[in-house]
Amino acid sequence: MSVKAEPLTPQALWEKCLHVLRENVGTATVTVLFQAVQPLSIKEDVFTIRVPSQFFYEYIEEHFSRLIVQTLRRHLGPKARLEYEVLTTLDVPTNLPSQTGPSPTILPGLRPRQSLPTNLNPKYTFDNFIPGTCNQLARSAGMTVAQRPGQTAFNPLFIYGEVGQGKTHLAHAIGNYARLLHPDKIITYLDADRFTQHYVDAVRSKQISTFLSRFENVDIFILDDIQFLIGRESTQDIFFHVFKSLHEAGRQLVITADAPPQELRGLAERITSRFSWGLAAQLLPPDYETRLQILQYKTRQEGLDIPENLLQYIAEHIQSHVRDLEGVLIQLMAEASINRREINLALAQEVIQRFQPYRSRAVTIEQIIQATSDYFRIHPEELRGKSRRKEIAYARHIAIYLSRKHTHHALKAIGERFGGRDHSTILHSLEWVESYLHTNRDLQKHVQELERILFKGA
């Protein structure tokens, strides 16, 4: 007689997640960062955890959620997902109407005609988007289109930059500022994945016309991370229809991506060519002065007392992404609150040294292919080709894994870079590496050495 297994408790499931995290990112990082996280509940396919602040939520979601969700799906099933309860959040500025621009005029009794959810996050504003030479053009153009949507030469406004430079923050800030200035206008923000999901749902329910009609009266349409439409031909077709209709009607379009239009291979030319009708503005990595201002602002928001010389030290040694600056602050907060350690230079040095090996500088898929080819002494075309020779397939699996881990591309976009492979083939490579990475020391060594090569000097 078989004994029915007891259902997992939230704590037991969380321990399994922590075990996987320790194996992948190291015990020190997990000990410091995840002690502050509490497992709350398992309800059907949803596992909920409590995090102590918005910083923790954003950092875990960006860097660790994929590993956590993979673990959840092993134990709860293929539809398992992770949700968060944020114990405390960053204060949203109460002086939103300032936005360093003119105050809105709101007529008594005026009711917005918003018929769609804006999906805007109110905490992302121009007030807390720290200005600098790295973002001057994009920030200025964003404020302009928010003030005069559809009435400037910046239509569409195309914002691009590496992962972690603030594209999503700026996209929401544009929407929030426009909403304050023009409460009668319909503003909709979607990321490319959500746009795709809405379209797929419409196809399944045979309600394409209803889906399209949702955009008819939109005054400002913001689409985040358009590179995730690469490889999704039918979704690109429907986006082109929406884009064309709105642009011809004089409505404002704001698009973000991780690369300039001409480098979005796999996105239809009839789409990318239209981005040249407006303005393409790049977000660059922040310079020292901007990095320091960001750290000063974040510490004020969190109520932290960190000496200025330590903020200067962090700003000097973390030179890539805004999210990397936040990551160091999070670990300092964790050490101070959980381990009761004094925030001083020695601790800052320790955290930065611990943090940097797992920091992901922006690299391209082409750089990963070239580095993998050099490392294994295989021609790049063999990695892209159809050869199933064991040594080539092995190297290809690793290159695909690194491409997914260290770039912001969707699976289909990665498949295009590897000889036009389909989504399922790329997924197989990822699953193969992830299933053996914990136990195969040679595979661990090869992945780690390639990462050192790719990020040497980062």
Asked whether residue 260 carries a pLDDT value surpassing 80, the answer given is yes
pLDDT of residue 101: 43
Asked whether residue 182 carries a pLDDT value surpassing 70, the answer given is yes
d(CA 224, CA 167): 8
Listed in sequence order, the residues at least 6 apart from 160 whose beta carbon sits closer than 8 Å to its beta carbon are 167, 256, 257, 258, 259, 260, 261, 280, 281, 282, 283
Contact 414, 403 (CB under 8 A): yes
Confidence grade of residue 29 (pLDDT, cut at 50, 70, 90): low
pLDDT of residue 185: 92
Query: Which comes out higher in pLDDT, residue 126 or 208?
Result: 126
Across the range 157-184, mean pLDDT stands at: 90
Query: Which comes out higher in pLDDT, residue 192 or 115?
Result: 192
> What is the percent of the chain with per-residue pLDDT over 70, rounded to a whole number?
87
d(CA 456, CA 6): 47
d(CA 119, CA 434): 34
CA–CA–CA angle 403, 408, 409 (5° rounding): 70
Listed in sequence order, the residues at least 6 apart from 320 whose beta carbon sits closer than 8 Å to its beta carbon are 164, 285, 359, 361, 362, 458
Query: Which comes out higher in pLDDT, residue 303 or 218?
Result: 218
- Tokens 């330590």 identify what position? 310
pLDDT of residue 355: 59
Across the range 296-305, mean pLDDT stands at: 81
Across the range 266-291, mean pLDDT stands at: 89
Instruction: List phi, psi (to 5°) of 87.
Output: -70, -45
The tokens describing 120, both together, are 């805007």
d(CA 221, CA 175): 9
pLDDT of residue 239: 93
H helices, E strands: number in the chain: 20, 8
The tokens describing 417, both together, are 């870079």
Coil, strand, or helix at residue 262?
helix
d(CA 124, CA 175): 9
pLDDT of residue 219: 95
pLDDT of residue 13: 94
The tokens describing 32, both together, are 């410091």
State pLDDT tens for residues 83-107: 988 774 333 333 334 444 443 333 3
d(CA 214, CA 217): 7
Domains and CATH numbers, the chain: 10-86 (3.30.300.180), 136-283 (3.40.50.300), 288-358 (1.10.8.60), 365-454 (1.10.1750.10)
C-alpha dihedral over 60, 301, 89, 335, to 10 degrees?
A: 50
Coil, strand, or helix at residue 108?
coil
Asked whether residue 395 carries a pLDDT value surpassing 90, the answer given is yes
State pLDDT tens for residues 30-40: 776 787 789 99
| Average model confidence (pLDDT) across the chain | 82
Asked whether residue 408 carries a pLDDT value surpassing 90, the answer given is no
Closest C-alpha among 300, 416, 405, 303 to residue 363? 405
User: Which of 109-118, 348-357, 358-367, 372-381 is predicted least confidently?
Assistant: 109-118
The tokens describing 113, both together, are 């005609």
d(CA 128, CA 90): 11
